[in-house]
Each structure stands twice: as structure tokens, then as C-alpha cells.
Amino acid sequence: MRRHAAFNRASKLAVPVLLLLAAAIPWLTSNPYYLDIVVKVFIWTIVVNGMNIIAGYTGQLSLAHAGFFGIGAYTFGLLMTKAAMPFLPSLVIAVLVTGLVGSVAGMISLRLKGHYFAIFSLCVGVVLLLVIEKWESLTEGVRGLLGIPIPKIGSFEFASMTSQYYLMLFFLVLTMFVNHRIIHSLVGRTFIAIRHSEELAEALGINVMRNKIIAFVHSTVLAGLAGALYAGYIRFLGPDIASVEHSFDMLLYLLVGGIGTLWGPLVGTALVMILMQWLQSWQEYRMIIFGPVLVLLVLFLPYGIIGTLTRLMHKRRLGQPLTQKQAVERSVLHDQSLAGGGE
Amino acid sequence: MPLGVMEMELFFQQIVNGLVLGSIYSLVALGITLIYGIMQLPNFAHGHLYMLGAYLTLWMMTIYGFRYWTAILVSVAALFLIGMLLERLVFRPLHNAPHINSMIAAVGVMLFLEAVARKLWGSDYRRLDSPYGEVISVFGVTITQQRVIIIVAAIILMIGLNLFLKRTVIGSTIEAMAQNREGAFLVGIDANKVSLLTFGIAAGLAAAAASLAAPINLVYPSMGAMVNLKAFVIIVLGGMGSIPGAVIGGYILGLAESISGTYINSEYKDLVAFVILILILTVKPTGLFAKEAR
Amino acid sequence: MMLKAEKLTKRFGGNTAVHAVDFHIKQGEITAIIGPNGAGKTTFFHLISGFHKPTSGRLLLQGKDVTDKPPYTMAKMGVARTFQTTKLFAEATVIDNLIIGHRLRTKSGLWDAVMRTNRYRKEERECREKAMKALEFVGLPELADRPVASISQEAQKRVAIALALSTDPTLVLLDEPAAGINADETSGIAALIRKMKEAGLTVCIIEHKMQMIMSLADRIMVLNQGMKIAEGTPEEISRNETVIEAYLGGAHHAQTD
């Protein structure tokens, strides 16, 4: 029991310690190469957090998220370049536009269930990609959108790597805070109830369709935010950022970290992206190794890293009840409804 | 020549092109729908098996100097084995895991196959020269022999598959299992053997489709991605697991693409499939041929 | 009159699962639906809880037409139901399973949840209290923090009923609440259903256990092959020739099969 209390204290400390560590990173290394990787990890973690809400907590596997990332990025990029709008309004409008497109896409696609939804969402993603690629008069097509100005708030320019780093850190922390609040609330319980059994949720008076749309829109808003931040960071856009492979990448990060867990997106994204950088020198052998590793991972570590850890922790304290948090975080893969084939 | 005749010729030309496209789509979609029917697995890697099939045929012809048809046979046989290997090593162990896991595994297979292709054959676009490049004229429509071969071969393959499913014991077992896995289990069907065979056949069909299409398209490592997506559109519309749905859907999509490519805008040709899908599902969320769920 | 069905019919393709059934549930009573396997009981349940849309016919809840209302609207209007398989979230605790039950009476949205507004805190407290009260009603307050997977089959049946009760229903539909539990436990569930009636709830129940139904129900409807073949008090039903025929016929088939 005492160990349990000590453990609780430790986990309470973990978040502030992590935050301090994150804030200190630019002081620990000034190597722009490392900072660049971390910034990208943060950006992708934000969109993977979005995917986690719809796929992990609500049980609807969306493969359209690279498309929404692209919409956020291009809306932001076009507002900054062609409309010459300032940074913050561009960011807000980009996020809103993505959410709007997300709500329309959600209203159509969420009527489908199981694999049908997954495949349909994949097609929605392709449509978004093709629109970005082919609408050359607006997006410049495959030539790419060049010369996005440096983000600026007031007179402060996010020109240095360090300032960009803190900008991303701020939005990442905000994203995870919001998701934490959602997951551990009646709204989150509603999502989980839908993932667990749509039939039961309906019988309990939950408007399943409406809640799925809310979850979907929230997840596309995060995708749009990540896309806009990406555009402001890289300052050049090509249609390939919206390509279907990126949706698969996100799913991969999510699964490696632990789908349906709060920390899974961060852990999975960081681990896979850093691993990829590390394997960069292996050139063409990279994917030859990585593909099988992925298969081995789903075969032998199906709950992801965070999912497996929480399960192990629970095993050690067998006989003690699960807290709500643990129940929420370790249960996702037991639900048959998750991306399950509709009857 | 009067304008009307020219228009008619253009139209028939597009019908033929549509049938060629449709033949390819149908064969790929058939494989995906068979696998889905038996294993409830959307095999995202199917397009990459298609790509592998094309490369193997090309390889057999260029390196070993095989003739076109011999090369196709070798490629189909190889893909049959590779398909079975994938089922045994990757997808069977995941059969009782959450569905999302087998989808991810399929993505892993996809990444692996594409990387292998890049390593072995490079990223360049390659051309497979068919011995059937001659142009012939059928009812005033000019068409290369290769296109006729694609259309005819696809029909023969589909009839063959149908005979196999209806007339042989193992084939009818596959059909029974696609309809009811639990029921099949009860009457003593070896589900594992059926899954294995189904994967082999599906991969073989993909290889055949790719080898037939290769002379009129280009061969490159990511050539399977778009075909794969379109095949998924087809089976969503035709009903996942439905064999007639895959065949009919394939031809409909081929014709729709070819005709809209000519009369609307060829730039947006690839969009046609997805727009059709979205329009139809907006009106009828259960797909075209889906039965009412009980 | 709590609920009234007029000529309710449901067809699937060519099969008629429920054919022109007239039926009603009186306020404060326990009404039972019985019938041999495949008689259309569950389909009928799905019809009156909104899970199936009837092919034809009308459904009235306290005089209001609710024929095409979706299940969640039915639930909000006071119709709660359980399922044959309990559908509980086995990995979560009992109380965590129950909290969502009162969600339909709350209004907090995403914003309230993120900002933890006063309304949100009040509503979350209400949900928790409601869940605990429902758990006390079914007699299992001590199991609140146990994972559902670790409690007995009978306790799970009770928790499923508690979940239905936490929606603040006026009419509770129970789909085979005593399936798969032993005789002692069955009488415990029967007592619980009686307690629900005493608390002023209207109950409708599908059950195979005839003894339990005969002692519990105020009124019984018998379905066979999708059609109503009898309706009345337990005494009337037990004397009804058609019912005996249908059941014996069924038993006879079961033996020869």
C-alpha cells in the first residue's frame, strides 16, 4: 500500500518534471539538427493526438487525417502568402476551415461503420490530396507553395529555431492538456461508451452520430492546427504532405505508443521518428528493416508501449481495483468495436 | 468522314479503354474481396502484391529472357506462394487480434515490399514490351492487340475462378466460408487451409492483372497504390466480400473513368472513383448492393 | 397506458419477423413477452425500443407517437432497456460502467469538459451520485470499485439493470435478465424486478424461465412465428390451448431434431 502511495506521488511529479525538461531542451543542446527533429516530433504528435481521439477513444479508425493536415497547412500557407494575413488570424482561420471541412466529411462518412468507415475515410483523404494537387490556380499544385513568411506575433518574429521550438511546445502542451481534460470527463466517457458498444450507448440515450461527429471534428481541428504549424515552420508546402502514406505514418505512431492512451501519441511519435532519423544512414535498407519491425510489433506488442506498461503495472498490483484512468487507458484494445468489421 | 461517325468512334474507343481499365480493376478488387470475405481483413498491401507481380514478369523477361506468357506464369506462381507466406507468417497470427492490428501489419508489409522493389529494381519508371504491340481494327475501332488480350484474359480468369468456386470441393469451401465462417467451422472446414489458399489465389490474381496491364502502363515501385485505393472504392460500393460486386463495380469504374476522362477533364480522372463513392454513399450509406442488416 | 403498439410489423427482405402485433403495457405493471425460440420476441423488443424501424404500424408512448424515434430519443423519453448479453465494459470498474448511464440527463459539452465549468462539476457529481444510488438499489454498493470482469454473472446482470435505472426511466425493458444464472440467483433477480415495480417503475420483460414469469408478471403476451397468439393473466395463459399447442409443438420439434 505504501508503495502504491509513493507511486502516486511519483506520477504526480512526472508531468511538472517532464515540462521542465521540455522547457530546458534548447538550453541543453543548441544543435539545430536535434532541435529540428524535436520540433517535428511535436508537430506530428499534435495530429496523432487528434487521431487518438477519433480512433483510440471513439473507436472510428480515420485514415483521412493527412488530408486534414494538408488543409490546415494549405489554408494557413495561402492566407499568409496570397492574402498576406498576419500569423495568428491565419492560424485561427486555418484551424476553423479544417474543422468545417471535417464536420462535412464527418457527417457523410460517419454513417458508415467498421471497415467501411476506415476505407471511406481513406478515400476522403485521397480526395483532399487530389484537390490540393490538381487545383493549381490556388495551390500551385506540384510546383509547391513557396515563400510563406516567418510567423510573427506583434513585433516578435519566430525566426530562430529556439523560438519555433517554444511555439510548438506551447501548442503541444495545450493539445495534451485539452485531450486530458476531454478523456477524463463525461464527454470522454461518452466517446469510450461508443467505442465499447454503439448499441448500448444508443440505449443509454447517447446520440451516437452526434458524438462521433464531435470527436471527429475535434480530431480534424488538431490535424489542421498541426498542419498550420508545420507550414509556419517549414515555410514551403508541397501536396505530398497530404498523401495517404502520412495517414498510415500517424496510425503507426499511435499504435507504437499505445492507441487510446493519453501519452501514447507522444511516445510513439518520438520513438518512431527518432528511430527513422537514426536509420537514415541506412538509406534504402531503412524500410526493409522497418516494415518487418512494424509487423513484429503488432504481433508481439499489440497494446503499444504505454498500453503494455499500464497492463504490466496493473498486473503487479493485481487484486487492487483499477482507477478510472487506468481503466480508460488500458482497455481500448479489448473492445471488439474498434474498427471491427460491421455485420 | 461526317462528324457524327467520328464522335461515335471516339465513344467506342473510350468504351474499349474503359473495359481494359475495368478488367484490371476487377481482377484486383476480386482478390481484395476474397480476402475480406474469408478473413475480414482489408488488405492494404494488395496493391503492392500487384506491383511485385509486374516486376517479376518484367524481370523474368529481361534477365532470363522468358517469353511473355511464361514470365506471367512464373510471376503468378511466385505471387501465389508469397501470398500464402504472408497469410501464414503475418495475418494468421493476427486473426484474433483487434482489426486495427492487421491493418497496421498490412502497412508494414506494404512498406517492406516497396522498399524491396526499390532496392532490387530501382525507383525508375520501366516499360515492359509486349510482343503484342500491333494495332488491329475491330468494327472501325483501332485497338492494340495487348488491349484485346487484357479484356479476354480477364474474362477467362473470372470464368475460371467462378468454375473453381462452384465446381470444386475446395472452391465451394471458400465460398461457404466467405458466407459464414462460424458455420463453416461447424461443418468441419479447415478454416486455416482455406485462408491460406484464398490469400494465394488473391495474390495470384493481382500478379496476373499487373502483368497484363504492365505493357500499357509503366512499372515502378509505387504503381500499386492508386490501383489499390480504387479497388477498395469498388468493393465498398459493391459490398465487401461480394464477388459479383467486385466484378461489376470494377467495370463500372473503368468505364466511368475512361468516359469522364475524355468528355470532362483528364486531369481529374483519378478523382472520378472517389467522387462517385462519396456521392453514392451520401445518398445510400450502405453501399449499392448491401443487404439490409438484421 | 404506458406504451401501445398498433399492428406493429417488421419485415426483413421476404421474412416477416413480427406480423401486425397489437400490444400494450399498462403503467406500473410487469408485462412479459414469451414464446418459443425464433418467435420474434427480440425483434419486437428492438421495435419498441427504437432499434428497428417498423415496416408498418404505430407505436405510442404515453399517448405520443414515437414510431420512428431513434433509440436515444426513446431513452430520453424514459424507455430504458437491457440486452441479452450484458454488454458491460469488462475491464472497467462497476461504478465507471454506471456513470455514463446518467449522461443523457446532462448538458455539458466539450467546452464545459475542457474548462471544468461549474455546470460540468455539478453534472459529473450528479452522474456519480445517480450511479451509486442505482447500485444501491440493485443491492451491490460494495462492488462499486471492482472491475466488472471480476464479479459474478448474477452481479453483472444486476449491474446491467442498474445501468438502465441510472437513466431515470419510467419504463424498463429487460431482455432475458435471468439467462445463464441458477435457480437461487433467478429468484433474486425476480425479487429485484418486483422491487422495481414497488418503486413505481413499469417493467416489460422477455424471459424463457416460465416459473419466474408466471409468478412475476401481471400480464403476458405470447408470440409465435411473429404473431401474437395469446394475451392475458398468467392463469389465463397457462390454460390457453393455443399456447400449450405452440409450446408442445416446439418441444416436440426439439426432441426429434
Write the pLDDT tens digit of every residue in A247-260: 988 988 998 899 89
Give all domains of chain A, ordered by start, each with its CATH number: 28-334 (1.10.3470)
Residue A154, Cβ density class (10 Å: 0-12 exposed, 13-18 middle, ≥19 buried): exposed
Higher pLDDT, residue A69 or B257: A69
Mutate: best of B291, B292, B294, partner C, most C CBs <10 A: B294
Give CA–CA dist A309/A304, Å, rounded. Answer: 8
- Please say whether the beta carbons of B71 and B211 come within 8 A: yes
Residue B216: HSE in the Cβ half-sphere, 13 Å Cα cutoff: 21
- Please report all neighbours of A, defined by 3+ CB atom pairs within 8 A: B, C
The last residue of a domain, from among C116, C137, C163: C163
CA distances from A182 to A9, A332, C114 (A): 23, 16, 6
* pLDDT tier, B102 (very low <50, low <70, confident <90, very high otherwise): confident
* pLDDT tier, A337 (very low <50, low <70, confident <90, very high otherwise): very low
The dihedrals phi and psi of B285, each to the nearest 5 degrees, come to -65, -15
Question: Which residues in chain B touch residue C12, judged by CB atoms under 8 angstroms apart?
Answer: 292, 294
**pLDDT surpasses 90 at A207:** yes
Which residues face C227 on adjacent strands?
A: C224
Question: Which residues in chain C touch residue B292, judged by CB atoms under 8 angstroms apart?
Answer: 12-13
Give CA–CA dist A96/A110, Å, rounded. Answer: 20
Given CB atoms, is A321 within the 8 Å cutoff of chain C? yes
Lookup: cell for A313? 503495472
For chain B, how are helix, strand and coil distributed in percent, rounded to 5? 75, 5, 20
Mutate: best of C12, C43, C47, partner B, most B CBs <10 A: C12
Given CB atoms, is B141 within the 8 Å cutoff of chain A? no
C83 lies in some domain: no
Chain A nearest-CA residue for B119: A284
Among A52-56, B135-139, B210-214, which is the least confidently predicted range? B135-139
CATH of the domain at C216: 3.40.50.300
Q: What's the structural domain count of chain C?
A: 2
Give CA–CA dist A127/B281, Å, rounded. Answer: 15
pLDDT recorded at residue C65: 95
CA distances from A120 to A62, A194, B234, C147 (A): 9, 19, 11, 36
Give CA–CA dist B11/A287, Å, rounded. Answer: 45
**pLDDT surpasses 50 at A199:** yes
Segment 91-130 of chain B within 8 Å of chain A by CB:
93-94, 97-105, 107-116, 118-119
On whether both C156 and C200 belong to a single domain, the answer is no
Q: Hey, where are the domains in chain B? A: 3-224
Higher pLDDT, residue C26 or B286: C26
- Please say whether the beta carbons of C218 and C29 come within 8 A: yes
Which sign, positive or negative, has the C-alpha torsion C97, C102, C107, C112? Answer: negative
* pLDDT tier, A204 (very low <50, low <70, confident <90, very high otherwise): very high
Mean of pLDDT values over A44-53: 97
Mean of pLDDT values over C28-46: 91
* pLDDT tier, C248 (very low <50, low <70, confident <90, very high otherwise): low
The last residue of a domain, from among C163, C187, C202: C163
Between chain A and chain C, the number of residue pairs with CB atoms below 8 A apart is 109
Query: Cell 404505430 appears where?
Result: C58
**Full residue range of the structural domain in which residue C120 is found:** 88-163
Among A113-127, A321-335, B241-255, which is the least confidently predicted range? A321-335
Give CA–CA dist B271/B277, Å, rounded. Answer: 10
Question: Which residues in chain C touch residue A193, judged by CB atoms under 8 angstroms apart?
Answer: 89, 100, 103
Residue A301: HSE in the Cβ half-sphere, 13 Å Cα cutoff: 21
**pLDDT surpasses 80 at A215:** yes
Give CA–CA dist C221/C49, Å, rounded. Answer: 17
Give CA–CA dist A313/A330, Å, rounded. Answer: 10
List the beta strands (DSSP E) in C26-141. Answer: 30-34, 56-61, 64-65, 79-81
- Please report all neighbours of C, defined by 3+ CB atom pairs within 8 A: A, B
Residue C163: HSE in the Cβ half-sphere, 13 Å Cα cutoff: 30
Chain A nearest-CA residue for B237: A116
CB contact under 8 A, A182 and C113: yes
Segment 113-132 of chain A within 8 Å of chain C by CB:
none
pLDDT one-digit tens code per residue, C99-130: 999 999 999 999 999 999 999 999 999 999 99
The dihedrals phi and psi of C177, each to the nearest 5 degrees, come to -70, -15
Which residues face C61 on adjacent strands?
A: C3, C64
**pLDDT surpasses 50 at B12:** yes
* pLDDT tier, A315 (very low <50, low <70, confident <90, very high otherwise): low
Lookup: cell for A15? 508531468
Segment 84-113 of chain C within 8 Å of chain A by CB:
87, 89-93, 96, 99-101, 103-104, 106, 108-110, 113
* pLDDT tier, B187 (very low <50, low <70, confident <90, very high otherwise): low
Among A128-142, A288-302, C105-119, which is the least confidently predicted range? A288-302
Mean pLDDT, chain B, whole residue set: 85
Mean of pLDDT values over B54-76: 92
CA distances from B160 to A74, B156, B201 (A): 49, 6, 12
pLDDT one-digit tens code per residue, B223-233: 998 899 899 98
**pLDDT surpasses 80 at C15:** yes
CB contact under 8 A, A185 and C71: no
